[in-house]
A = this chain, B = another copy of it.
Amino acid sequence: MKAINIGTPYLLFLGDAADPLAAKVAQGIKHWRAENCVGQLRLPDCHADVGLTDMTVAQARAAGAQTLVVGVANRGGIIAENWISVLREALEAGMDLAAGLHNKLADVPELRDTAAACGRRLFDVRHPSETFAVGNGKPRSGKRLLAVGTDCSCGKMYTTLAIEKEMRARGMPVDFRATGQTGILIAGSGVSVDAVVADFIAGAIEALAPANDPAHWDIIEGQGSLFHASFAGVSTGLLHGAQPDALVLCHEPTRTHMRGLPDYQIPDLQVCIDANLDVARLTSPRVECVAIAVNTAALTEADARHYLEETQQRLGLPTVDPFRHGVAPIVDAIV
């Protein structure tokens, strides 16, 4: 495996973001890895600001920036025409480019040719260029935690990054292992597992989270859900490749149906935990579900506290909102 390994520090490119949400990738990188960011670059019509120093390409390079990261998405996830001169300038100044868009940097002839001429790298993190071995299922040392979900997009990345941060603060040996494009840009490495060829899902995760020191924790970002009719194959391969010691179930309690599938209900939490444990046991017989992480953003503080307490009581597992209240109880449960 030729692993992605994006050079830091970053200059975050916010482009002409239509609103703050359009720059949520940049916001995530700044939130979780501020130490990896020298500044932000905004075009004249930019309506986002992640709170870093505004810099030109030359200023960022002088400050040591190794990579310009496209931290903005427009409609369609494409590379806009009016970004290209800045991206080219970054290459010519000696920086690599990284993006997690549907369109590839490498498919823009001007960027491809400039990168080749300048000896710079283009990281299209949504499109794995590595080849992976087929999963072998062999037991490996080290501890691994995987976030699973009742659905897609219910907080797996946030939860796993928060657990990594909490463990690191406690002095535990730990690494976040990214499986989606935003997570990869935050971590600077990882595998966009839903873009891997189907035969290699488990093998890609075995490569992402390899054998490690017995006390070391890999905190692996999950994807999809065993109960999502479009993506459960990815979630299954992730469970097998991860060989998790611990699962954390992520859940968004106000959703009325599975994301993108109006006819599919969100599964019951206990049913979802049991199904994930059943699948995970194939490669990790002693796996346990250690906690539930709930995204309560749509609830009032009182309703959130009530929901978390009721769920914790009913299922007998620590139940927290990582954003509102932190993940200390999850790490307590693991330790």
Which residues of A are interface residues toward B (Cβ below 8 A)?
A: 134-139, 193-199, 201-203, 226-227, 229-238, 240, 260-261, 263-264, 275, 278-279, 282-283
Contacts and interface: CB of A to CB of B under 8 A. Distances in A.
Oligomeric state, in copies? 2
A131 to B, nearest CB: 12
Contact of A236 (B135, B137, B232): B232
B232 A282 contact: yes
Nearest to A194: B199
Given A227-B282, A275-B278, A282-B227, A234 B199 contact: yes
Given A236-B236, A275-B278, A278-B275, A230 B198 contact: no
Nearest to A267: B282
23 contacts: A135-B229, A135-B230, A135-B231, A136-B229, A136-B260, A137-B229, A137-B230, A137-B263, A194-B198, A197-B198, A199-B230, A202-B229, A202-B230, A202-B231, A202-B233, A229-B240, A229-B282, A232-B237, A233-B233, A233-B236, A234-B237, A235-B236, A275-B278
A282 B231 CA distance: 12
- Give the top 9 A-B pairs by smallest Cβ distance, nearest first: A233-B237, A137-B229, A135-B230, A194-B199, A236-B236, A201-B233, A233-B233, A233-B236, A134-B230
A201 B198 contact: yes
Given A136-B230, A232-B237, A233-B233, 15 more contacts: A135-B231, A137-B230, A198-B201, A201-B234, A202-B230, A202-B231, A202-B232, A202-B233, A226-B236, A227-B282, A229-B283, A232-B282, A233-B234, A234-B237, A236-B236
Contact of A240 (B135, B197, B232, B279): B232
B199 A231 contact: yes
A261 to B, nearest CB: 5
A203 B230 contact: yes
